[in-house]
Structure 1
Amino acid sequence: MKARIPPRQQISNQSLKAVDEYIQEESHNMSRRLFKLVAVALNELYGFGAKRNLELSQRVGNLIIEHQDDEIFWQHVDQRCDQMKLGYEHEDYERMEKRRERR
């Protein structure tokens, strides 16, 4: 007799925690790399030094932490980006809502 085990139950809580930690670490690494690139670009284009770049990265980091799953905030960010005609893809608000509900 074959039994089907739903994927969520196949992975132990310890494994799920390890996966979450890995994803969090990789996300942190990617964010750090992006901040570095932005800092270099701002320095090259506009002469931003250490103080201005650190203030910018701290402000952006704080906004991300404060509004990570706030779909209204990200809608406003998307609207601002649209006004500037940056062409960024909008966030997936339904997915954000589902992730917030799981927590």
Structure 2
Amino acid sequence: MKARTPPSAKLSKKQIDLIEKMSHELAEEALKREQKNLMRRWFKLMCVALHNTYGFSTSRLAVVIQEIDKLSTQAEKDEIFWEHVDRVVIDELKMAFDKEG
């Protein structure tokens, strides 16, 4: 009985490394796509909720989305951004959220 060598053993180390790198990049792209889809859906839900509950128009919803975009840009630059958000949302507004980190 002959021992069989798996096809992966026939690849060079360089080829295996390249395949792993490409797999990682593809997985990252898929994750980013899914995150973008999830965020789009949450924004849609927020728009519907604000429109149905408070009558927000297109222009008011656009302002809310712009403010969220501005805050998310700040979050990327400020290391303690989420502590500030927690102070407002949890401490001042008394919303039942878990604190970050």
TM-score where L is the length of structure 1: 0.69
Q: Which residue of 1 aligns with 2:53?
A: 45
Matched residues in 2 for 1:36 and 1:53: separation?
Answer: 10
Q: Which has the higher contact order (CA 8 A, sep 6+)?
A: 1
Equivalent of 2:41 in 33, 41, 44: 33
Structure 2 unaligned regions, length at least 5: 1-16
Change (3 A) 1:31 1:19: same
> Does residue 72 of the first structure (1) align with residue 99 of the second (2)?
no
Matched residues in 2 for 1:29 and 1:65: separation?
Answer: 19
Q: Which residue of 1 aligns with 2:4?
A: none
Query: What is the aligned residue count?
Result: 83
Q: Which residue of 1 aligns with 2:94?
A: 85
Answer with 16-25 or 63-72: which moved more: 63-72
RMSD in angstroms over aligned alpha carbons? 2.0
TM-score where L is the length of structure 2: 0.70
Structure 1 unaligned regions, length at least 5: 1-8, 93-103
Give aligned-pair identity as a percent. 35
